[in-house]
A and B are shown apart, each in its own frame.
Chain A
Amino acid sequence: MRARLRVKAAFRLKTALLLVCLSAPVMAWAVDDPSEMLPDPKQERQAEAIGAQLRCLVCQNESIEDSSAGLARDLRKVVREHVAKGENSQQVIDWMVARYGNFIRLSPPVTVATLLLWGMPVLALLVGIVSAVMIFRRRTVAPTPLSEAEQARLRELGDGQ
């Protein structure tokens, strides 16, 4: 019984090791596959720089250069084809944005919406400070002087002691 368990455990370990070995090439696909690279080192560097700015839409927080997802590999291939044709980085990024929207850019472009988004904390602070100052100023206004009747009542109370 115990021997059988040990055999089972060994089998499980072997399967686990086999799975790790099998997944190794998948992990290596990410950037190091030489067949993916462009022959011209300058163009390859440009393609890598473009890829680093593009989001892998499957993993979402990795660039397509870092991701091992199938779509990321396809997009890397597309980037290299465009670079090999002699397009500049902006043209390649525009091509991607036309298909996937600004979401594919890891750093969002400056637009009215993003400016408002980034400026919101400053705006909120400014509005808060100004309204706080105005509220406190209103509170420190001197109280209205006592009326004749009130002063008379005050004297009356004082005399009572």
Chain B
Amino acid sequence: MSSEQTPADCQNAVTRRRILFGGPLLIGAGLCGAAFWKMLSGMQTGSFNPHDINAPVTGRPVPDFKLPDQTPGTGFATADLKALTRPVLINFFASWCIPCIAEMEALLALQKQLPIWGIAYKDKPENAAGLLKHAGNPYARIGSDRDGRVAIDWGVSGVPESFLIAPGGMIVWHSAAGLDSPEVSDGLKNALKAVGG
């Protein structure tokens, strides 16, 4: 570089410095913006909820399964869900699960709005039958998942869990919490409206 600097050289140096400083700033701000946009948009759809561990299952067809009867109802399989022409709620429950018993009242009220099919999760058939005799039976059909293997295919991590199935057998909504909470029942109502239930 020559010792003599013209005003134009100075101008160039200033421009270069501006680019050197401003460039990373702009890129950084852009990345920050993109990151926040991603997080906030995720929160809006509920996909950023760290406890919502079953997110992958919604928007998918029901998994392949076949469940034997659980007294006092008859069991069901994938084909039965796919043949449906109106939405149905699948509810995993167990007689040994206190939140499931707490949820029963909400299910009994809900049964008037849409059919609920129950799956007894890792429960002795006589215990599950006893619970339904005692607390009331909100289920149109009931299957027994003795070893809990069907539940794993649905992504169930603990009872109670509920899934809304759209006509044709698509899982459109899921909750890992009991339907006796207002947030959950509101969520279900909105999902039901979206599939025309």
Contact = CB atoms under 8 A, between A and B. Distances in A.
B157 A120 contact: no
Interface string A16-46: 0000000000000000000000000000000
Contacts, number: 68
A116 B34 contact: yes
Interface string B132-148: 00000000000000011
Nearest to B50: A103
Q: Per DSSP, are chain A's interface residues mostly helix, strand or loop, or mixed? A: helix
Interface residues of B, number: 26
Contact of B157 (A57, A78, A133): A57
A15 to B, nearest CB: 22
Contacts of B152: 74-75, 78, 99
B53 A101 contact: yes
A101 B35 contact: no
Most chain A CB within 10 A, of B24, B32, B149, B157, is at B157
Q: Per DSSP, are chain B's interface residues mostly helix, strand or loop, or mixed? A: helix
Interface in A92-146: 97-101, 103-104, 112-113, 116-117, 119-120, 123-124, 126-127, 130-131, 133-134
A10 interface: no
Given A100-B155, A103-B55, A123-B28, 10 more contacts: A71-B148, A74-B149, A75-B152, A99-B153, A100-B53, A100-B54, A100-B157, A101-B53, A101-B54, A127-B32
19 contacts: A57-B157, A70-B122, A98-B56, A99-B57, A99-B153, A101-B55, A103-B53, A116-B31, A116-B34, A116-B35, A116-B38, A117-B35, A120-B35, A127-B28, A127-B32, A130-B21, A130-B28, A133-B21, A134-B25
